[in-house]
Structure formats: structure tokens, C-alpha cells
Amino acid sequence: MRNRVAAPPRSVWARLHLRERIRDRDTAIYGVLLLVALVFPAITLYTTDGSTYLIAVAGHAGTYVLLAIGLNVVVGFAGLLDLGYAAFFAIGAYTYALFASQQLLASPIHHAYHFPFWLMMFVGLLIAASAGAVLGFPTLRLRGDYLAIVTLGFGEIVPQVFQNFDQWTGGINAIGGIDQPTLPAWVTGPWAGADSISIVAPFSFSFDPIAYYVLIFILVSVAIVLVNNLQRSRLGRAWMAIREDEVAAAAMGINTVTTKLLAFAIGASFSGFAGAYYGASFGLVSPDDFLFIVSITVLVMIVLGGMGNIPGVIVGAVTIYFILNWFLPLLPPAVESLASSIGLGSLNSRAGDWPGLGNETQNVTLLLFGLILVTMMLLRPQGIFPSRIREQELKHATAQEDEAAIEQAHA
Amino acid sequence: MALLELKGVDAAYGRIQALRKMSIDVNKGEVVALIGSNGAGKTTTLRTISGLMHPQAGTIGFDGRDITTTGPARIVALGICQSPEGRRLFPRMTVQDNLFMGAYSRNDKPGIASDMERVFTLFSRLRERRTQIAGTLSGGEQQMLAMGRALMARPKLLMLDEPSLGLAPILVETIFTIIREINSQGTTVLLVEQNAHKALEVAHRGYVLETGSIVKTGSGQELLASEDVQKAYLGM
């Protein structure tokens, strides 16, 4: 330790202990994320001349952040590999869609319900959580691969059920015209195209990307606080113990049955939230939105971000979402304009078997996505921001390997 | 009255009978050793007591209660804690979190804190390594942690399964000294060991197991002096 010559000035900043806190990596990530989340809308509005497209993309990315946080409870904390997480997302979305649209008018009960979004968000949460417990029940005795297979099946069944019960859900025709959330008052201003800052009362979200962005920002913030507390709680430690060694956990007096059920239920409840938000923000819910690819994408997000570590999972979710929905779609036009600017513009047009550079790029985008994933996993197998424990463990493992290598070299 | 009492317990893994008419009792304040060769049923006895498997016949009583069919979580809460064979630590949790897990069934924060202190006093190595993850500890340290974790439940009965397995002789000595110390602080200990000599030295009483039944019983000294035991287990 260095000797301090003079006591530091006790400014507001000093009292916040910022320097000590920033040394803690996870706090620093949260700080950066918060800053980016707050500044991002202003910057996009300013640089794109009032276009809210990117804000809408960010709002949808927020849905995936919620999903990733929820799945992380099941997979990262409790170590239960769940490949059907999209099912709970679907259940949350359909809960809102059914009870906040004209859909049920055509159903056998001939009555449309229009419950408010704020209520249905919590109903969706409860129903998704119950579904989580229901799925959890038959899987309690299963481990590893077998658990993954059962959850995979559940993930396939649920969207099918929503598709086949078309009397109720409209099946493949999807549910449209879903109600927009309303609030008693809202602030509007130049950012939303209004002339001056004023208060709108009452306010309907009506697909306003900025309003949805604010909503998902709040939802994600609440979710982060909740899971952080969960992780440090007795229950969080019990999940970790079950992940490590189920028999030993039972020997410690942990009721493994309820603890695992709680992991499924709590994990699912986040996607119930996300589902209601998804239904409202798109105004349309279709069985195709919840296919296996959704479950896998969310799983990729948490593995890539750093399984078990909440800030890592959030970074992973945002990264993957923007790669998939912003970077990759942008690629074909970018490649085309690059080609014309370096004098290879002729490649852009279709000729014979050549589909044109733009189309060709389009064809290989998913290949590129796969390459990005493989590269990232090779470079950082532990994820972008792994939990400190995983880091320590990997370091230990490499240290042991090094020792073994040295011993062999001397032998 | 006995703290723990097994009466005519039968237990099996599928069709393989592991325990036959097993009867033992452990009195309050004792160290009792179960010795026997591989496959004699020592570990099965402990698993049956801690509720990880249930007997097909017979009864198990603990502290005036019948726990024959009680589940493991409840049994821990009643005051039986096992430090399982092969230690079964939570390798990716820190030393301190492992100890907290031991106290999982308890709710008294000050009591947990003081027991943590007690464990750190018994095993000073663990104090130095409290934030290290358990998987990176040495074998001896892991055994200490396993015992410390079991103590964190503040058990009435501590069951130790092969605490000396795979340890360097100097550490074996330390472990048995600590077992004696834990016992002198008032915890009853049921000890399963292959190292019969060491076990019988610390034990007040011992049972000799063979193929799932008790074949001999007596005080630790008696068994140490017995010719059969010497021949079969002490290599004399």
C-alpha cells in the first residue's frame, strides 16, 4: 500500500467511493450499460435526424435481455439445461394477446376481453411461472442431456398447441390488433416530433418506440435488481449447490425438489414479462415467433455473455441481438456500396449463375453468424464477462496443465 | 438412552442386499467407529441414516424420534449431518460459501457467524483460504472443509465417511486430532473408516462390519486388542 500524502478532498464524488466501485468489474459494466442505455436514444435521434428505427430495435433487444436474464436463472444459477425456454415466452405473449384483443370474440366464448397491459403483465408472469413449475415437475428426476430433451419437447409442443387450437388462438393466422398500454400521463417533446415539451394525458403507447424503450428499460432494471438479490440469497446459494452436486446439496438439508421447481418457475416468470411486452410492442403474436431458434438464440446469448454472471449475460444478449438484427441485415448493402466504391460495381448486378454481390452476401450471413460465434467461443470460452468463479477455475485448470507440461518436459 | 439407534435394518441397492439385520446404537457424547473392509456396508449404513436411501426393514430412531422414512432435508434439520465419502464439496463455490451451505438448514445468523469462527479456529488453513474456490484446495484442505461444512449444521450427530482417505500420514494425524477435539466440544461422532487402527484409537466404541452385518462389537481398546480384528483389519 502506498502512503497517502494528503487526505483526498471529500467531494461528492469521493463520498460515492467511485474509484473503489469501478475497480469492481461488474459494477463498472453496469455503469457503462446504464450510461449507454440513457445516452443511446438521444444520440440516435440526433445522428439519424429523428429516426426512431434504432430505438425500436433496441426495445426489442430489451425483450431478449429479459429472456436471457430469466434463462440464466435456470441454466446459469441452477444448472438445469432448458432448451424450451421460448415456450414460456409464448405463454406470456399469448396470455396478453388473448385477453387484450378482439380475438376471443370469435372463440367459443364469444366475448372479447380488454384487460389493461399493466395487470396482464403480472398475470402473464404468474401463468408463465406456473407453466414453469408444471414443466419442472416431470423433469425433476432428470439430469443433463435427458432434461434438455424433455425441455426441448416442451418448447416444441407449446407453439404447436397455440397453432392447433385455432378456434381460440387464430392458429397460424396469428393474433393481431393487440391493445396498446395506456398511462394517465406522459411527457412528449421534440424527440417525438412534437413542437415543444408538453404533457399528454391520457397517453396510449400506440407503437411509440421511445415509450416502449422507456418501458423495457424499467422492466430490465427491475429484473436486474431482482436477480442480483436472488443470486445472493439463500435460494441463490441453494441453486448453486444443486448445480455443483445434487446429492451433496441434499445432504446439506436443501429440499432439491422445491428448489429446482423454484428455478424453473422464477426463470419462466421473466419470460412471462417479456412475452406481454413483446405482444404489445409488435401488436401481433404468432406461433412462428416462438420456435426452437428463439430458445437457442437466448441460450447462445447467455453462454456467450458468460453463464451465471448477470452483467455478462446482458452484454451477450445485446451483442447477439444487434449482430443478428442490425449488423447482418446491414451487410449486403454495405458490401454492395463497398464494391462500387472500389470499382467493382459490376459484381453487384446479376449475371448468369452469379446472383449479384448483395444477394450472395445475403446468402452467407448466417454462415458468417456461425463463424462469429465459433470465433468468439474459441477466443473466450468462458464468455465475454464470466463470473469470477469461472475465471478462477479456468486459471487454476491452465495452471495445472502448465505444471503438468513442465513436469513432462523435465521427465 | 441412545442418541441414534438402528434396529434390524435391511437395505439394498436394487437386488443387491447391502445391509442385513443391522443394529447399532450411538450414545450422546460418544465417538463410535464402524470398521470393515470394502463392500462391508459402512457407507450404506451412513446413507441409510441420513435418509439418502431408505431401509426395507427395521427402524432407525434418533433423539427419541422415528426417522426410518424421513427425507434427507428433514434429517439434517433434526441434527444429523454427514461429511460424505469423497468429500463432495461444491467445487465451484468459495470456501466460505461451502461453509454457509453447511448451515443451510439453520436460521440464526449470529449462531452461524460464531460457528464459522469456530470452524476457522479448528482449521486455520481454511481461514487463510476463505475466498478461494473449493475445487482448487489441496486434498487435506478439502477434507478439512468437508468436516467444517458438516460442523456448520451444528449437528447433534456428525457422521464422517472415510475422513482419512487419500491423505498424507501427517494430515491423517491432524484429522484425527480434530475429530477428538470436535467430540470433546460436545458433538457425538459416528466414524466410518478403513484405517481401523486410527479409528479405534479415537473411538469409545466400535462395530466391525462384514457383508452387511455386525460381527463384533466392543470398546475401542477391546477391539484393538482383539486377535480377530488385528488379523483382519490391522495387518498384525
B25-37 residue pLDDT tens = 999 999 999 998 8
What CA dihedral angle connects B12, B18, B21 and B26, to 10 degrees?
-110
- Tell which residue, B92, B112, B95, B94, has the closest CA to residue B103: B112
Contact A253 B76 (CB under 8 A): yes
B72 touches chain A (CB under 8 A): yes
Identify the residue with better confidence: A20 or B185.
B185
Residue in A244, A252, A255 nearest the CB of B102: A252
- The more confidently predicted of residues B74 and A277 is A277
Q: Which residues of chain B lie closer than 8 angstroms to A77, CB-CB?
A: none
pLDDT band per the 50, 70, 90 thresholds, residue B194: confident
The pTM is what? 0.81
Q: Is residue B136 within 8 angstroms of chain A, CB to CB?
A: yes
> What pLDDT does residue A14 have?
56
DSSP letters for A62-111: HHHHHHHHHHIIIIIIS----S-THHHHHHHHHHHHHHBSSGGGSSTT--
CA A397 to chain B, closest CA, distance in angstroms equals: 9
The answer to whether residue B50 neighbours chain A at the CB level (below 8 Å) is yes
C-alpha cell at B211: 457383508
Task: Tell me what pLDDT residue B107 has.
Answer: 83
B76: nearest CA in chain A?
A253
Judged by a CB distance cut-off of 8 A, whether residue B231 touches chain A is no
Chain A nearest-CA residue for B49: A251
> Within an 8 Å CB–CB cutoff, is residue A222 touching chain B?
no
Asked if B101 lies within 8 A of A249 by C-beta distance, the reply is yes
CB contact under 8 A, A247 and B73: no
B90 with A393: Cβ contact below 8 A: no
Q: Count CA atoms closer than 13 A to B26's CA, side-chain side.
A: 28
Contact criterion met (CB < 8 Å) for B90 and A241: yes
- When scoring A231, A244, A247, A389 by the number of chain B Cβ atoms within 10 A, the one with the most, hence best to mutate, is A244
Residues of chain A neighbouring B88 (CB-CB closer than 8 A): 245, 247-248, 251
B197 touches chain A (CB under 8 A): no
Determine the average pLDDT of the residues in B198-223. 91
Instruction: State the pLDDT at residue A1.
Output: 44
pLDDT attached to residue A349: 81
Residue type, A64: Y
User: Are B90 and A245 a contacting pair at CB < 8 A?
Assistant: yes
Determine the distance in angstroms separating the CA of B133 from the nearest CA of chain A, rounded to an integer.
7
Instruction: Please answer yes or no on whether B133 and A392 come within 8 Å at the CB atom.
Output: yes
| CB interface of A with B, residues 360-389, below 8 Å | 389
Q: Where are the domains of chain A?
A: 24-318
Query: Angle, to 10 degrees, between the axis of helix A144-164 and the axis of helix A86-99?
Result: 20
Identify which of A252, A393, A396 has the shortest CB distance to residue B101.
A252
The tens place of each residue's pLDDT in chain A, 411 residues long, gives 445 455 555 555 555 565 555 567 888 889 899 999 999 988 988 888 878 889 999 999 999 999 999 999 999 999 999 999 999 999 999 999 999 999 888 888 888 899 999 999 999 999 999 999 988 888 877 877 888 999 999 999 999 999 999 888 888 888 988 999 988 888 887 777 777 788 888 888 888 899 999 999 999 999 999 999 999 888 999 999 999 888 888 888 888 889 999 999 999 999 998 999 999 999 999 999 999 999 999 999 999 998 889 999 999 999 999 999 989 988 888 988 888 888 888 888 888 888 888 888 888 888 999 999 999 889 988 888 887 766 666 666 666 666 556 656 655
Q: Which residues in chain B touch residue A252, judged by CB atoms under 8 angstroms apart?
A: 76, 101-102, 104-105, 149, 153
The ipTM assigned to this model is 0.73
Please judge whether A247 and B84 are an interchain contact, meaning their C-beta atoms are less than 8 angstroms apart.
Answer: yes
What does the pLDDT average to over B55-71?
A: 92
By residue count, chain A amounts to: 411
HEC-encoded secondary structure of chain B: CEEEEEEEEEEEECCEEEEEEEEEEEECCCEEEEEECCCCCHHHHHHHHCCCCCCCEEEEEECCEECCCCCHHHHHHHCEEEECCCCCCCCCCEHHHHHHHHCCCCCCHHHHHHHHHHHHHHCHHHHHCCCCEHHHCCHHHHHHHHHHHHHHCCCCEEEEECCCCCCCHHHHHHHHHHHHHHHHCCCEEEEEECCHHHHHHHCCEEEEEECCEEEEEEEHHHHHHCHHHHHHHCCC
Compare all CA atoms of chain B with the CA of A245 and give the residue at the minimum distance.
Answer: B90
Mean pLDDT computed over B5-23: 91
Of chain A residues 239-278, which have a CB less than 8 A from chain B?
A: 240-241, 243-245, 247-256
Give the pLDDT confidence of B111-157 residue by residue, as tens digits: 999 999 999 998 888 999 988 889 888 888 888 898 899 889 888 99
Average pLDDT over residues B65-72: 90
Confidence band of B38 (pLDDT split at 50, 70, 90): confident
- Please tell me if residue B215 touches chain A, with a CB cutoff of 8 Å: no
Q: How far is CA A244 from CA A79, B63, B88, in A?
A: 8, 32, 9
B33, B76, B34: which is closest to B52 by C-alpha?
A: B76
Instruction: Supply the pLDDT for residue A235.
Output: 93
H/E run at residue A182: strand A182-183
Percentage of chain B lying above the pLDDT 70 cut: 97
Residue B133 contacts residue B92 (beta carbons within 8 Å) = yes
All cell numbers assigned to A266: 422464477
Alpha-carbon distance of A345 to B95, in angstroms, equals: 63
B139 lies within 8 A of chain A by CB: no
Q: Does B70 touch chain A (CB under 8 A)?
A: no
Residue of A nearest to B51 (CA): A251
pLDDT for A409: 60
SS3 A249: helix
